[in-house]
Amino acid sequence: MILRVVSLNKKYQHIDGEVDALKDVNFDVNQGDFVTITGSSGSGKTTLLLTLAGLIKSTSGIILFKDFRIDKATDGQLSAFRKNNVGFVMQSFALIPYLTAIENVMLPLAIFNRPKAQKYNAALELLQLVGLDNRKNHLPKELSAGQQQRVAIARALVNNPSLILADEPTGNLDPSLSADILNLLKKINREKKVTMLMVTHSPAAAEFGNTRIHLQNGRIDNIFSKEIKMNLEAVIN
Amino acid sequence: MNVQKLVWLEFKQHKSQLISGLLAITLGIAVIVGIRSISVVSEKAVAINLDNLGANILVLPQASNVDNYYSADIDAPTFPEEYVERIATSTIAGVDNMSPKLTRRITINGQKYVLTGILPKNELASKPIWQNSGLFGAELQASCGESPVNEDLGYKDEKLQRKSVDSLAMDDCMMGSSAAQRLTAKEGESVVIEGKTFKVAKVLSETGTIDDDRIFAHLHAVQDLLGIKDQVSAIEIMGCCNAISDGLLGKLRNILPDTRITTIGQIVSTQIQTNKMMNKVSFVFLIIIIFVGGISIGNFMWANVNERRKEIGMFRMIGFSKTIIYQMLLAKAFILGILGGVIGYIIGTAAAMWLGPEFAGLTVNAIPALIFISLLISIAVSLIGAIIPAYLAGKIDPFNNMQEG
């Protein structure tokens, strides 16, 4: 088991009173799982992802990453945790506009004390993995949306994370590109044994995971676990 | 890729915005460097004046400016040359020597020089620093002995040993060292001044004053050349020290009522006061730059942080600690500080070198030590200005990179 969530609660203060964003959330994630988190808008999907990343403090409950208590950690410990263990893929790609594709991929390594050539080679290898090594010197504006998301995926992998947190990674892409990206994530999950937690509102995308957690008003109302075999046509349909 | 490179890449990306951020601090540093460069030279000039000035009384037109002894006669209003005769034929005792002068700025080959007409024997006799130029004839001896009172007036009696120039022909000129260097003129060569050809009779030794930029020619030749017949702009008088104490100045004022008569001591005192005032002004600017420059840098940094909220949020998300975010922004402020210090130093020094001779009558040279002070002030102000924006940048949430669902 890589991640354990026990009785997790998150309350927001609002002018109308307290709002329960997450309520008594419990689940486990094993190494190499591909977990999708679904739910309607406002159900708490992204709040859950941010809380797991230590970017939002939970109100109560336990979040355990291996032996590390995310819910109890200090800001510095959480930064180190994300630096060493987590990769992020966002709907908006979040690439730095003035950095080339390979510089964007190398970005998380900027805070690692490693030789320059080692960083460069690691980034180049990942650009090859996502099929963009021939675009390594292109700025984000010179790449298509699908290519930008591939660069973002390569960036998420460059620090060799054991956990990738993806927030609507296909939300800005058309269906064929979405399938492309989802297949790439699935491939990375299978080949690199990287654990994936992906927030999505797309039922088709949710089918890519071997476990699906459905949230309703901050509570888990269903956890599905199954073998997934999905191809490009199914996503488009 | 490392944090330093990231800072540099971001810096290059927004270089056009830097100009506004740098403006206040650069100008502030430039003003401090400019004032300091001029005042340092001015302080040195005071010391040189005290040691080397020959004449100890200066007769100037009433409307002239006496802030600086060496430049007091430049472009000053004139009065009749006949005043020399008036003094010589008076019954006033204690006037050992007189040197009437007419001085104007001129341009030769696009460069500015100071042309001074002198009556050779008198003029050169009153300048001890020229004694080694080999031009001088019989030695003159000051007619008064040493006196502590005279030192209080701003000169030393032992310096009152003079030699005189025998003659300076109407088409001869003598050049200050800097003027000769700029004109690449050597002794025996000819030089054209205001359409008239002069022979360079002598190149004078360096004095460290505006005299180095002067070209000396015969008073009457200069009067003809400038069309200012029978007029002079100053008379230098070597007065007997005891006679000065006995009221020589008052007696001179009586026979020359429309002139301004002053001693070197008074002029040097004015110059020292001016220097003190300039130092105070540069201190005031230092205070202003700390406020205006710091606020300007802070404002620029805060705008930069706001513009990059998503980017900084992204850094935080992928594991950049708050400390690294602070370091990135302070490194940027550090670079701004270096740029502001260096550019400010260059502008300030250039302005002082250009304006010094023009307005203060002083040849200003670059002071390399000021670059360290400029850098120190500029970097400190930039870092202080960036502290609050850096602190607030560390507090940026990465949430806006995520889509709430």
Q: What is the pLDDT of residues B254-310, one digit of tens each?
A: 888 888 887 766 666 676 777 777 778 778 877 887 788 888 888 888 888 888 888
Query: Is residue B55 a contact partner of residue B348, using CB atoms and an 8 Å limit?
Result: no
Helix (H, G, I), strand (E, B) or coil at A7: strand
Instruction: Tell me the CA end-to-end span of chain A in Å, nearest whole number.
Output: 34
Query: Is residue B131 a contact partner of residue B163, using CB atoms and an 8 Å limit?
Result: yes
Query: Is residue B137 a contact partner of residue B175, using CB atoms and an 8 Å limit?
Result: no
Report residue B142 as tokens: 């000051």
Of A91-95, B11-15, B351-355, B375-379, minimum mean pLDDT range:
B11-15
Helix (H) or strand (E) holding A19: strand A17-29
What pLDDT is attached to residue A83? 92
Domain boundaries, chain B: 3-44+274-401, 63-257
pLDDT mean over B10-33: 81
From the CA of A88, how many Å to the nearest CA of chain B?
7
Helical residues (DSSP H) of B53-91, grouped into ranges: 82-88
pLDDT mean over B153-181: 65
B61 at A interface, C-beta within 8 A: no
pLDDT mean over B132-138: 36
Measure CA B235 to chain center: 24
Q: Which residues of chain A have pLDDT under 50?
A: 228-233, 236
CA distances from B292 to B12, B25, B26, B286, B348 (A): 24, 8, 11, 10, 18
- Tokens 């004078």 map to which residue? B204
Domain boundaries, chain A: 3-98+161-236
Helix (H, G, I), strand (E, B) or coil at B202: strand
Report residue B383 as tokens: 């870092």
CA distances from B111 to B34, B182, B193, B215 (A): 22, 9, 12, 13
What pLDDT is attached to residue B5? 87
A164 at B interface, C-beta within 8 A: no
Adjacent-strand bridge partners of B241: none
Of A48-52, B86-90, B242-246, minimum mean pLDDT range:
B242-246
* Cβ–Cβ below 8 Å for A92 and B401: yes
Chain A residues lying within 8 Å of B324, measured CB to CB: 111
From the CA of A53, how many Å to the nearest CA of chain B?
8
**Taking every pair of C-alpha atoms in chain A, what is the biggest distance, in angstroms?**
55
B211 DSSP 8-state letter: G
String of DSSP letters for A46-113: HHHHHHHTTSS--SEEEEEETTEEGGG--HHHHHHHHHHHEEEEETT----TTS-HHHHHHGGGGGS-
d(CA B275, CA B39): 6
Question: What is the phi/psi pair of residue B60, to 5°?
Answer: -130, 160
From the CA of A133, how many Å to the nearest CA of chain B?
17
d(CA B285, CA B262): 33
Q: What is the pLDDT of residues A49-103, one digit of tens each?
A: 999 999 888 999 999 999 899 999 998 999 999 999 999 988 888 899 999 999 9
d(CA B237, CA B162): 13
Chain B residue whose CA is closest to A53: B317
- Tokens 């507090």 map to which residue? B395
d(CA A24, CA A61): 8
Chain A residues lying within 8 Å of B405, measured CB to CB: 39, 41-43, 45-46, 167-168, 199, 201
What pLDDT is attached to residue A121? 92
CATH fourth-level superfamily of A3-98+161-236: P-loop containing nucleotide triphosphate hydrolases (3.40.50.300)
Q: What angle do CA B120, B43, B29 make, to 5 degrees?
A: 130
d(CA A159, CA A161): 6
